[in-house]
Structure 1
Amino acid sequence: MYRAAASTLTALGCAFAAGLCAPTPASAASPTAALTAVARTPGGNYHLATPTRVVDTRYGQGAPRGTVDPGEVVKVKVTGVAGIPTTGVGAVVVNLGAVAAKSYGWLVAYPSGQAKPATSTLNYRAGWTGSATATVPVGSDGTITVIAGAGSTDVLVDVVGWYSSATSTQTGGALLDPQDPYRLEDTRYNGGAIPAGGTRVEQFGFYDSAGSRLKAIAANVTAVAGSTTSGYLTTWSGTGTRPGVSTLQYARGEVSPNTTNVPVTYLGVDGLGSSRYSFSLTAMGAGAVNVIVDVVGYYTTAADGVGTVYVPMAPQRLADTRIGLGVAKGKRGTNSTAQMLMPTGLVTTARTKAFVGNLTGTGATKSTYQTIWSGTAPTDSSTINIAPGRDRTNGSIVLTPKSDDGARLRYAVFNQNASADFVIDMTGRFDTSPDQPAGASSSKRIVSHQSYLMPAAKGR
């Protein structure tokens, strides 16, 4: 079940769907003067990588050829590839894929040299092909470890980006402004499905009074149920040659989400002073597919230091309704919201603004969707879609506002239909940049949106 009450911004406002309209951001005035630039510390800054496949066990690329069996370890070299330096790398963002899994199971990605955590990064079932994007701290040898907890499968690992460590000499990194999920695109109500082999260009206005430059968005990209065939989607900047990697694989009749970081192309400034950007969605399958894009953060080169930096952490389990870990035990019913508190030892109440981790939905009695977010306001977005016998994992960036008493940080999970369990694993957090001036705040927001299909190439 997908979220039907979805709406999409157009260049003039928003389009209606099922009688509802998504909140429209306030109109942008001309940007004010940028704050004074500050000396930026490198730790936790995000950097784009050239999207590159570094492991494909079907062909023996980057790992021995053949399926990865339960307990088998694959060490993945992630430094010195795809434009990532050999030193000064704190964590890497990878798209982890399972291909034609032999049986039910899961993969775990974690920093090499550390003990295997009791978490999962990607869950799969027999015959399934799919992926999940994960942010993984890098071991001292420049590698991450992928292990199959159960179920044999071929494995793909694509590099998307990386976070610098405190010892990095790299400049030009971006800070994250995390957001509650905001629906940017839903092709069901805005132009229709992307045809096989087609590319849809998403253009939007972006306002930031500090004068930052957007480098990427963090977004949950979902292939909607109703696609007539299996295939894959690639999200990319739309500039130059499309990368030879996939963002998500989708199966016929299923809802397939994946949260990832999408690079954008700068188009210039419009008449109102807002910067214009674009990115592209390419569908590679035998049939058309509808796509949803929910934005959960903006990566900007904020010279004034306003934003958050990534703090790597060993993967750990925050909540599990099956056993009552971090939340009351028991499946969640229809239209239920579970409010939770972050463990005090894992965050800094004064500086932590969000965490990154995986939401896994399991044991559903009917088709449903689940959403992980701050819990402070309604959202028309979903994080995962699950069904009986079809568990699903997806990563997300989750805002963590202060609790009512100001002593703890909180977040929430919503379950839409019937009953289902959920599991939450944390792999890192985002803290206010140490360079952010006292009292400074972000005003980054999308102010307009339009999209179009690229014309089909003419035959000769």
Structure 2
Amino acid sequence: MYRAAASTLTALGCAFAAGLTAPTSASAATQAVTPTTAPAAVARTPGGNYHLATPTRVVDTRSGQGAPLGTVDQGEVVKVKVTGVAGIPTTGVQAVVVNIGAVSAKSSGWLVAYPSGQARPATSTLNYRTGWTGSATATVPVGSDGTITLTVGAGSTDVLVDAVGWYSSATSTQTGGSLLDPQDPYRLEDTRSNGGAIPAGGTKVEQFGFYDSAGSRLKAIAANVTAVAGSTTAGYLTTWSGSGTRPIVSTLQYARGEVSPNTTNIPVTYLGADAFGNSRYSFALTATGSGAVNVIVDVLGYYTTAADGVGTVYVPMAPQRVADTRTGLGVAKGKRGTNSTAQLLMPTALVTTARTKAFVGNLTGTGATKSTYQTIWSGTAPTDSSTTNIAPGRDRANGSIVLTPKSDDGARLRYSVFNRDASADFVVDMTGRFDTSPDQPAGASSSKRIVSHQSYLMPAAKGR
């Protein structure tokens, strides 16, 4: 089960048939904005700033790249070198963003990613079953030796690890970096109602207008990408900037007959300004598989360079379980039924009520009685987006960036989990949080938003 509704903005966007060139004019959905003067620049501290990595595969146990050759079995540990590769420096790195894949799992189980040098947490990063191939993106603090650790809690599988990005520490000498403006999930693309499935080997380019009253430059978006695969198709999707050569990495693998989500950070390409003064950007989705696949993109936040310090910084923490309906941890015990919403409170020891704006959470749906989807978000307003898709015997974990507004009494921070159909349990693991930048001037606020959207299939390369 998956959400069928597309956003109004996407419905207004223009879909272009395969073989047409990229549009050169602004979409009819573009909104005019009133230009504003950017606030004055402030001194910026590097701690918690996000940096793009060069998308690079750093581990593939099928070939012995970056780890011993062969499957990783229950209890085995793989230490992954993440500094000094993919453009990530050797010092000043507090956390990395990696896409972790399980390939043709030999037996069902799960694995967990965590900082090297720390005890293995009682959480999970990626769940898999026998014969399954899939992936999950994780933000993992880096150990003092420049590595992260993967441990298989149960089962046996080959493992892939792709580096996506990194967060600088307070001691970093790296210049630049981006701050995150987290959002409730917003549906940007749904190919089922906007141009149709991406063909095997095809690339769909997403163009959008972006308004930011602070005059910042967008570098990446945080987004949940979902492959809605047909009953006979399987393959993988790569999300990338659409500029230059497509990287040889995968964002998510989709299996036959499954709906497969994964949350990741997608670099964007700047295209210039439109007639209304909005900046225009693009990114690309490439499908590699045995058939066409429909794709959904739900935006969770914007990474922008912000000289004025407006935005949030990443604060790493050891993975911790904060809710589990199977045991009653942090939430009333018991499965959730159709159209149910659980309203939860963040543990006060894990957040700063005055500064925490969002957390990085891993939502695992488990024990479903029939196909359903679950959504983790602030709970402030309804959302047409999904986080993870599950079915009987098909548990699934997916990460998300979750807004945490204050509770009604102002004493706690809250969030919600929605279950669409059937009866199912859910588990929430917290791996970090985003706090207001210490450089943000008092009273400053962000107005970042997407104001137009259009997409088209990239013309196929002509043979010689």
- Please state which band the TM-score falls in when normalised by the shorter chain: over 0.9
Give 1:49 deviation, angstroms: 0.1
Flag the 1:292–1:406 CA change in 2: closer, same or farther, 3 A: same
1:321 paired with 2:317, answer no
Give the aligned partner of residue 24 of structure 2.
24
1:458 paired with 2:458, answer no
State whether residues 7 and 17 of structure 1, in contact with CA within 8 Å, keep that contact through their aligned partners in structure 2: no
Provide the rounded CA distance (Å) in 2 between the counterparts of 1:144 and 1:232: 25
Give 1:27 deviation, angstroms: 12
Provide the rounded CA distance (Å) in 1 between the counterparts of 2:392 and 2:196: 29
Provide the rounded CA distance (Å) in 2 between the counterparts of 1:232 and 1:426: 27
State whether residues 20 and 458 of structure 2, in contact with CA within 8 Å, keep that contact through their aligned partners in structure 1: no
Over residues 145-172 of structure 1, what are the superposed CA-to-partner deviations in whole Å (9 max), with x where a residue is unaligned?
0000000100001000000001001111
Flag the 1:26–1:391 CA change in 2: closer, same or farther, 3 A: farther
Q: Aligned to 2:349, what secondary structure does the other structure show?
A: helix
State whether residues 6 and 17 of structure 1, in contact with CA within 8 Å, keep that contact through their aligned partners in structure 2: no
State whether residues 37 and 304 of structure 1, in contact with CA within 8 Å, keep that contact through their aligned partners in structure 2: yes
State whether residues 8 and 22 of structure 1, in contact with CA within 8 Å, keep that contact through their aligned partners in structure 2: no
What TM-score does the superposition give when structure 2 sets the normalisation length? Answer: 0.95
State whether residues 59 and 67 of structure 2, in contact with CA within 8 Å, keep that contact through their aligned partners in structure 1: yes
Give 1:84 deviation, angstroms: 0.3
Give 1:328 deviation, angstroms: 0.3
Which residue, out of 118, 130, 135, partners 1:131? 135
State whether residues 8 and 184 of structure 1, in contact with CA within 8 Å, keep that contact through their aligned partners in structure 2: no
Provide the rounded CA distance (Å) in 2 between the counterparts of 1:82 and 1:275: 28
Q: Aligned to 1:110, what secondary structure does the other structure show?
A: strand
Flag the 1:416–1:382 CA change in 2: closer, same or farther, 3 A: same
Give 1:31 deviation, angstroms: 2.5
State whether residues 356 and 435 of structure 2, in contact with CA within 8 Å, keep that contact through their aligned partners in structure 1: yes
State whether residues 222 and 292 of structure 1, in contact with CA within 8 Å, keep that contact through their aligned partners in structure 2: yes
Over residues 296-339 of structure 1, what are the superposed CA-to-partner deviations in whole Å (9 max), with x where a residue is unaligned?
00000011000000000000001000000000000000000000
State whether residues 200 and 453 of structure 1, in contact with CA within 8 Å, keep that contact through their aligned partners in structure 2: yes
State whether residues 92 and 170 of structure 2, in contact with CA within 8 Å, keep that contact through their aligned partners in structure 1: yes
Flag the 1:423–1:345 CA change in 2: closer, same or farther, 3 A: same
Over residues 205-253 of structure 1, what are the superposed CA-to-partner deviations in whole Å (9 max), with x where a residue is unaligned?
0000110000000000000142631100000000110000000000122
What TM-score does the superposition give when structure 1 sets the normalisation length? Answer: 0.96
Over residues 257-281 of structure 1, what are the superposed CA-to-partner deviations in whole Å (9 max), with x where a residue is unaligned?
0000000000001110100000000
Aligned residues, how many? 460
Provide the rounded CA distance (Å) in 2 between the counterparts of 1:136 and 1:323: 26
Give the aligned partner of residue 207 of structure 2.
203
State whether residues 178 and 399 of structure 1, in contact with CA within 8 Å, keep that contact through their aligned partners in structure 2: yes
Flag the 1:12–1:190 CA change in 2: closer, same or farther, 3 A: closer
Give the aligned partner of residue 254 of structure 2.
250
Q: Aligned to 1:9, what secondary structure does the other structure show?
A: helix
What's the C-alpha RMSD, in Å, of the aligned pairs? Answer: 3.8
State whether residues 49 and 82 of structure 1, in contact with CA within 8 Å, keep that contact through their aligned partners in structure 2: yes
Give 1:459 deviation, angstroms: 2.1
Provide the rounded CA distance (Å) in 2 between the counterparts of 1:370 and 1:78: 32
Give 1:424 deviation, angstroms: 0.4
Flag the 1:25–1:32 CA change in 2: closer, same or farther, 3 A: farther
- Choose 212-221 or 222-231, whichever is displaced more: 222-231
Q: Aligned to 2:9, what secondary structure does the other structure show?
A: strand
Give 1:5 deviation, angstroms: 2.1
Flag the 1:207–1:453 CA change in 2: closer, same or farther, 3 A: same
Provide the rounded CA distance (Å) in 1 between the counterparts of 2:61 and 2:461: 34
State whether residues 224 and 262 of structure 2, in contact with CA within 8 Å, keep that contact through their aligned partners in structure 1: yes
Give 1:23 deviation, angstroms: 24
- Identical positions, percent: 90
Give 1:9 deviation, angstroms: 2.4
State whether residues 223 and 263 of structure 2, in contact with CA within 8 Å, keep that contact through their aligned partners in structure 1: yes
State whether residues 320 and 423 of structure 1, in contact with CA within 8 Å, keep that contact through their aligned partners in structure 2: yes
State whether residues 27 and 453 of structure 2, in contact with CA within 8 Å, keep that contact through their aligned partners in structure 1: no
1:269 paired with 2:273, answer yes
Q: Aligned to 2:14, what secondary structure does the other structure show?
A: strand
Over residues 88-131 of structure 1, what are the superposed CA-to-partner deviations in whole Å (9 max), with x where a residue is unaligned?
00000000100010111001000000000000000000000000
Flag the 1:432–1:118 CA change in 2: closer, same or farther, 3 A: same
State whether residues 7 and 14 of structure 1, in contact with CA within 8 Å, keep that contact through their aligned partners in structure 2: no
Provide the rounded CA distance (Å) in 1 between the counterparts of 2:310 and 2:72: 43
- Choose 13-22 or 155-164, whichever is displaced more: 13-22
Provide the rounded CA distance (Å) in 2 between the counterparts of 1:165 and 1:157: 22
Over residues 280-299 of structure 1, what are the superposed CA-to-partner deviations in whole Å (9 max), with x where a residue is unaligned?
00000121000000000000
Provide the rounded CA distance (Å) in 1 between the counterparts of 2:90 and 2:194: 44
Provide the rounded CA distance (Å) in 2 between the counterparts of 1:249 and 1:302: 34
Flag the 1:66–1:118 CA change in 2: closer, same or farther, 3 A: same
Provide the rounded CA distance (Å) in 1 between the counterparts of 2:387 and 2:359: 15
Flag the 1:287–1:428 CA change in 2: closer, same or farther, 3 A: same
Provide the rounded CA distance (Å) in 1 between the counterparts of 2:380 and 2:144: 39
Flag the 1:455–1:163 CA change in 2: closer, same or farther, 3 A: same
State whether residues 18 and 457 of structure 2, in contact with CA within 8 Å, keep that contact through their aligned partners in structure 1: no
Flag the 1:50–1:324 CA change in 2: closer, same or farther, 3 A: same
Provide the rounded CA distance (Å) in 1 between the counterparts of 2:18 and 2:431: 37
Over residues 17-68 of structure 1, what are the superposed CA-to-partner deviations in whole Å (9 max), with x where a residue is unaligned?
9999999999999320110001100000000000000000000000000000
Over residues 320-374 of structure 1, what are the superposed CA-to-partner deviations in whole Å (9 max), with x where a residue is unaligned?
0000000000000000000000000000000000000200000000100000000
Provide the rounded CA distance (Å) in 2 between the counterparts of 1:307 and 1:243: 29
Flag the 1:432–1:20 CA change in 2: closer, same or farther, 3 A: farther
Provide the rounded CA distance (Å) in 1 between the counterparts of 2:183 and 2:23: 14
State whether residues 17 and 189 of structure 1, in contact with CA within 8 Å, keep that contact through their aligned partners in structure 2: no
Provide the rounded CA distance (Å) in 2 between the counterparts of 1:2 and 1:254: 10
- Choose 4-13 or 213-222, whichever is displaced more: 4-13
Flag the 1:418–1:15 CA change in 2: closer, same or farther, 3 A: farther
